[in-house]
Amino acid sequence: MSTTRSAAEATNGAPLLDVRDVTKRFGGLVAVDSVSFSVDAGHIKAIIGPNGAGKSTLFNLISGFYPLTSGSMSFDGEEIAGLPMHAIARRGVARTFQTTSLFSHLTVLDNAMMGYRMHTKSALFDVLLRTPRTRREERESRERAFEALRFAGIEPFADRVAGSIPQEAQKRLAIAVAVASDPRLVLLDEPVAGVTSEETDAHAELIRTMARRGHTICLVEHKMNLVMGLADSIVVLHHGRKIAEGTPAQVSADPAVIEAYLGAASHA
Ligand SMILES: Nc1ncnc2c1ncn2[C@@H]1O[C@H](COP(=O)(O)OP(=O)(O)OP(=O)(O)O)[C@@H](O)[C@H]1O
Ligand SMILES: [Mg+2]
């Protein structure tokens, strides 16, 4: 959290994330169908598309939550396809889930500490014996967690039970949990779902600040005003396939995109 890295320098101009011909099948259903795109360090990339297009599945593949059926993915120049979720997280990929996945019975602070602890090294015996390393890491994780809560604007809620705070604050907490580990890439799945339109502007600003601090962002969101105002570029999925990619202006004028959304609306 404390380091503001120059994201673009860190990768020598190569994309931070490169997804190549990635496919995911669930039985007979091809949820993600040979999708390729890349995300440059420091950029905000949005993934949009009608319900069921494969957006969350794509995030589940990038984060290692599901194995790929085929294809490849590299992060910072190294292949990550096939790695388990914790190994991908260790390399600096954090994510939020579409439905809030907070530990709702724990405090806000504890949730943020969990986010940081994804990256600490204490082994089980360290924890049991309370070695100096564990104590140091505990102190450090509290500090980092507080910093993340301050960043997300929810420090006053630190001691509250996470499930009892307002919906909008829970969405901010999901972001705090994700950034507590100082990730290089953050995958945000519908960060403003259920948030009022006035609050959406504040969230947009928070996401912009994340990018300025060196967190590269991949964002799935249905609220088009947020996406259009925030994204450097947009990938459009429909029935698992990439049907368009470009700037917000290019994508919103693309006949295939308009057709996909109108078609989806008429079947809704
Ligand atoms: N674990 C799973 N098992 C079987 N099918 C799945 C699984 N996860 C997703 N799917 C299917 O894959 C397709 C893509 O789903 P996904 O959740 O990725 O869509 P989405 O673009 O995120 O949609 P939404 O905008 O509604 O969140 C859907 O048809 C969905 O039913
Ligand atoms: Mg989804």
DSSP string, 99-116: S----TTSBHHHHHHHHH
pLDDT at 100: 64
Q: Between these two residues, 98 and 7, which has the higher pLDDT value?
A: 98
pLDDT at 2: 45
* Nearest residue to 229 via CA among 252, 245, 212: 252
User: In this structure, are residues 178 and 186 in contact, taking their beta carbons and an 8 Å threshold?
Assistant: yes
Residue 161 DSSP code = B
User: In this structure, are residues 177 and 115 in contact, taking their beta carbons and an 8 Å threshold?
Assistant: yes
CA 98 to ligand 1: nearest atom: 27
* Nearest residue to 92 via CA among 21, 164, 158, 16: 16
- pTM comes to 0.90
pLDDT at 10: 57
Question: Ligand 2 (ion): which residues have CB within 5 A?
Answer: 55-56, 98
Residue type for position 214? G
- Dihedrals φ, ψ of 94, to 5°? -120, 155
CA 60 to ligand 1: nearest atom: 18
Question: How many A from CA of 239 to the centre of ligand 1?
Answer: 10
With 80 as the cut, is the pLDDT of residue 85 above it? Answer: yes
The pocket around ligand 1, CB under 6 angstroms, is made up of 26, 29, 31, 49, 51-57, 98
Question: How many A from CA of 205 to the centre of ligand 2?
Answer: 22
pLDDT at 133: 77
Domain with CATH 3.40.50.300 in the chain: 1-92+185-268, 94-182
Q: How far apart are CA 132 and CA 256, in angstroms?
A: 59
Q: How many CB atoms lie within 10 A of CB 130?
A: 11
CA-nearest residue for atom 3, ligand 1, is 26
Q: How far apart are CA 150 and CA 188, in angstroms?
A: 19
Going by C-beta distance under 8 Å and a sequence separation of 6 or more, which residues neighbour residue 118? 86, 89, 90, 94, 181
Query: Under CATH, which architecture does the 1-92+185-268 domain have?
Result: 3-Layer(aba) Sandwich (3.40)
CA distances from 147 to 90, 153, 192 (A): 20, 10, 22
Winning range, highest mean pLDDT, from 82-91, 125-134, 242-251: 242-251
Q: How far apart are CA 153 and CA 198, in angstroms?
A: 16
Q: What is the mean pLDDT of the chain?
A: 89
Query: Under CATH, which architecture does the 94-182 domain have?
Result: 3-Layer(aba) Sandwich (3.40)
